[in-house]
């Protein structure tokens, strides 16, 4: 690969990472350089370089879903937690995607009710973000037609071409409990996955399908996060109840109960008992 082309790709992946709170998934980096046939050793050097630049390269498993930190260096941790977010709409309804093909009216209604408007700082950030990606933007129809003809090297150019749709979708799905940068990353990953699965479609059909896949990836992520939160809340409540019940059983310091005994008293499986004890900070007796 030409050194200038390689340097330009490094700059592009850095831009994506910097605009995602200095975080990028390992899988996204691998796909970004996939068409260049980089050896594993060279890819590791790319990972090392990004980390030296202060960019966290996250694994391709569930770890990548738990991005934390700031949307950009100018955002305080308090703002990330929505502490300064305004509750009134700061963007007109027309700025939001009204629905993608296949989404029912109930889905649109629920999404619109749950969305949270961006703060003025985030709006300004997104404006600058899009200005950076507009430079040198190629004709999308041409890119799609060439890609369908087998030009896989156009992946990075297509990613750049669809940043506006990814950002609009992320803004539309913005939630109090979801980090905005996670939505951007999920949109990019959903887009790349869709490219890999693209069949012999016309360019116009592929364009609609890709936009649908971007939004479905974000929906899947939000559903997974919501389910995880529910499970975490249930577990926290169980731990609280357990702490109270264990305290009742162990008020006598002279009496020590084994995990088996506590499990029997509280009608729980031994493995489940051990897990909850660890979460409760209790050292089980053998």
Q: Which domains does the chain have, with CATH numbers?
A: 1-68 (no CATH), 96-237 (1.10.1740.10), 250-280 (no CATH)
Residue 263 belongs to what H/E stretch?
A: helix 259-265
Per residue in 28-47, pLDDT (tens digit) is 888 888 777 777 877 887 88
Could you read off the pLDDT of 214-257 as tens digits, one per residue?
A: 999 999 999 888 888 888 777 777 777 777 776 776 666 666 77
Residues 61-67: contacts with CB within 8 Å, 24+ apart?
64/25, 64/26, 64/27, 64/185, 65/182, 65/221, 65/224, 65/225, 67/20, 67/21, 67/23, 67/179, 67/181, 67/182, 67/185
DSSP letter, residue 191: H
Enumerate residues 6+ apart whose C-beta is below 8 A from 216: 100, 190
Q: Give the model's pLDDT for residue 64.
A: 36
Provide the residue count of the chain.
286
- Which residues are CB-contacts of 30 (< 8 A; sequence separation ≥ 6)? 43
Would the pLDDT of 136 be above 60? no
Residue 286 pLDDT > 60, yes or no?
A: no
CB 21 within 8 A of CB 71: yes
CA-to-CA distance for 14 and 16, rounded, in angstroms?
A: 5
């Amino acid at each position: 690969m030409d050194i200038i082309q390689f340097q330009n790709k490094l700059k592009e992946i850095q831009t994506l990472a910097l605009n995602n709170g200095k975080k990028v998934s390992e899988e996204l980096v691998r796909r970004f350089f996939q068409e260049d046939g980089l050896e594993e050793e060279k890819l590791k050097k790319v990972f090392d370089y990004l980390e030296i630049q202060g960019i966290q390269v996250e694994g391709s498993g569930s770890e990548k879903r738990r991005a934390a930190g700031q949307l950009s260096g100018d955002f305080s941790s308090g703002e990330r937690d929505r502490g300064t977010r305004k509750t009134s709409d700061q963007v007109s309804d027309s700025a939001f995607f009204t629905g993608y093909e296949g989404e029912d009216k109930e889905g649109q209604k629920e999404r619109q009710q749950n969305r949270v408007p961006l703060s003025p700082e985030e709006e300004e950030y997104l404006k600058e973000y899009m200005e950076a990606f507009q430079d040198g933007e190629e004709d999308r129809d041409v890119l799609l037609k060439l890609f369908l003809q087998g030009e896989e090297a156009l992946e990075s150019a297509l990613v750049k071409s669809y940043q506006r749709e990814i950002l609009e979708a992320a803004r539309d799905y913005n939630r109090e409990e979801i980090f905005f940068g996670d939505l951007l990353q999920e949109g990019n990953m959903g887009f790349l996955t869709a490219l890999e699965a693209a069949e012999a479609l016309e360019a116009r059909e592929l364009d609609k399908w890709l936009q649908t896949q971007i939004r479905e990836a974000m929906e899947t992520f939000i559903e997974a996060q919501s389910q995880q939160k529910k499970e975490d809340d249930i577990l926290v409540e169980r731990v609280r109840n357990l702490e109270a019940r264990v305290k009742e059983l162990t008020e006598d310091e002279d009496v020590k109960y084994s995990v088996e005994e506590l499990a029997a008293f509280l009608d729980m499986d031994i493995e489940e008992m051990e897990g909850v004890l660890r979460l409760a900070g209790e050292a089980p007796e053998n």
